[in-house]
Structure 1
Amino acid sequence: MTGKERREQLISIGRAVFAERGFEGTSVEEIAQRAGVSKPVVYEHFGGKEGLYAVVVDREMLHLERVITESLEKGRSRVRIEQAVIALLTYVEEETDGFLILVRDSVPGQDRSYSTLLNTAVGQVSHILANSFTRHGLNPDAAILYGQALVGMVSMTAQWWLDERTPAKEIVAAHIVNLCWNGLAGMEADPSLSPEVTVAPTPTTAVGEE
């Protein structure tokens, strides 16, 4: 086995172990054992567990970021949102280990994470919504708020579906878009809370108080 092939083998095995046991529960010893090599081989390629984990996460992030970004590039606004939902659910279905790693573990010093990817998606969705808002006479400045809400809804549903796997992803996507799109279609130009909703005032700190 060449050095490149060994590296790819370790990445594949590490990905499976991280998904199964989490970052803290994974050891270099187990990865080496499953690969049929000694621990120094793992250290030679990645410098340790943290280095291998960083490579695994980076690959998953790039993969998921690519499929989400490509799904939002073309089509009518509703179609692009449908495509993005299906893209995420397909990733959950086909790359379950990768999704588990992204949503479960947060390791200090890790620059890229699932939350950073969601922030990127929020920016893309907000841009789509802002254009739609402008065409319909709505305030485009509110698009970022709705983008956060939509991406959050899709992300949380995807994590729920990770365990449920029913109904089929097409049905799940159709219901998500049905909720978000038909809700958007009936938006108010200047929404406000109902009169019966009581909002506590924001506490203020007097000058000189800590």
Structure 2
Amino acid sequence: MTGAERREQLIAVARTLFSERGFEGAAIEEVAARAQVSKPVVYEHFGGKEGLYAVVVDREVQTLLAIMRGSLTAGTSRIVLEQAALALLSYVEENPQGFRILVRDSPIGEASFQTILGDVASRVEGLLADTFKRTGLDAKNAPMYAQMLVGMVASLGQWWLDTRKPAREVVAAHVVNLAWNGLSGLDGDPVLYSEQPEA
């Protein structure tokens, strides 16, 4: 293997191991054993477990940010909320190992995941502020509501990671239903507006 190929192999092995055991439970010895290399090879590429973990987390952060930023396009406030819910659930579905790494209790992972959620919340905040102004609500409350909405979807993603039922679109429709209508106005059979046929 070339040096670059070996590095990619080690990152893939470590990603699986960190997903299974977390930062504290993973050991360089096991990364080396699974990759069928000696421990010094891992140290040569990453300097230690912290360096390897930082590379794995950084890649996950970049993947999730790309999905979230690419999904939050123009549209009504409700459509943007749908886009955010679907994007996060898509990441969970397509990258379960990465999502487990990001949400584990680790200083690096926690800060990174919070950074991503903060980025999404700031985009949602602007949309909520506009909606609040149009409907006569106090726009100063938009940041608080944005944090609630994004946090709800992130927490839901952790639950859904293990259940995977119902389907992503159904889960997104329900979270948007709760966020948009509140408990007193829930639809009995919610669907995403973006998936309804045009009349």
**TM-score, normalised by the number of residues in structure 1:** 0.83
- Measured after TM superposition, the shift of residue 76 of structure 1 is 2.1
The structure with the larger Rg is 1
Residue identity (%): 60
* Counterparts of 1:104 and 1:70, CA distance in 2: 25
- Measured after TM superposition, the shift of residue 117 of structure 1 is 1.5
Amino acid paired to 2:172: A
Amino acid paired to 1:52: L
DSSP-derived class of the 1:129 partner: helix
Name 1:35's counterpart in structure 2: 35
Name 2:191's counterpart in structure 1: none
Judged with a 3 Å threshold, the aligned counterparts in structure 2 of structure 1 residues 9 and 60 are, in CA distance, closer, same or farther, namely: same
Name 1:132's counterpart in structure 2: 131
Are the counterparts in 1 of residues 101 and 109 from structure 2 also a CA contact under 8 Å? no
For these two proteins, the number of residue pairs brought into alignment is 184
Are the counterparts in 1 of residues 80 and 124 from structure 2 also a CA contact under 8 Å? no
Please state which structure has a larger fraction of its residues in helix. Answer: 2
Amino acid paired to 1:123: S
Q: CA offsets per residue over residues 99-121 of structure 1, 9 Å max, x none?
A: 000001313x6784212221222
Mapping of 1:66-105 within 5 angstroms? 66-105=66-105
- Measured after TM superposition, the shift of residue 94 of structure 1 is 0.9
* Counterparts of 1:145 and 1:111, CA distance in 2: 20
Name 2:180's counterpart in structure 1: 181
Q: CA offsets per residue over residues 58-86 of structure 1, 9 Å max, x none?
A: 11011111211221232222111111111
Amino acid paired to 2:150: V
RMSD, aligned CA: 1.7
Q: Which moved more, 1:175-184 or 1:30-39?
A: 175-184
* Counterparts of 1:12 and 1:146, CA distance in 2: 37
Are the counterparts in 1 of residues 102 and 110 from structure 2 also a CA contact under 8 Å? no
Q: Mind listing any 5+ residue stretches in structure 1 that lack a counterpart?
A: 187-210
Name 2:55's counterpart in structure 1: 55
**TM-score, normalised by the number of residues in structure 2:** 0.87
DSSP-derived class of the 1:113 partner: helix
Name 1:153's counterpart in structure 2: 152
Q: CA offsets per residue over residues 28-83 of structure 1, 9 Å max, x none?
A: 11101111111111000000011000000011011111211221232222111111
Are the counterparts in 2 of residues 106 and 113 from structure 1 also a CA contact under 8 Å? no
Are the counterparts in 2 of residues 57 and 101 from structure 1 also a CA contact under 8 Å? yes
Name 1:169's counterpart in structure 2: 168
Q: Give every structure 1 segment of 4 or more consecutive aligned residues whose post-TM-superposition deviation is greater than 3 Å.
A: 109-112
* Counterparts of 1:147 and 1:46, CA distance in 2: 37
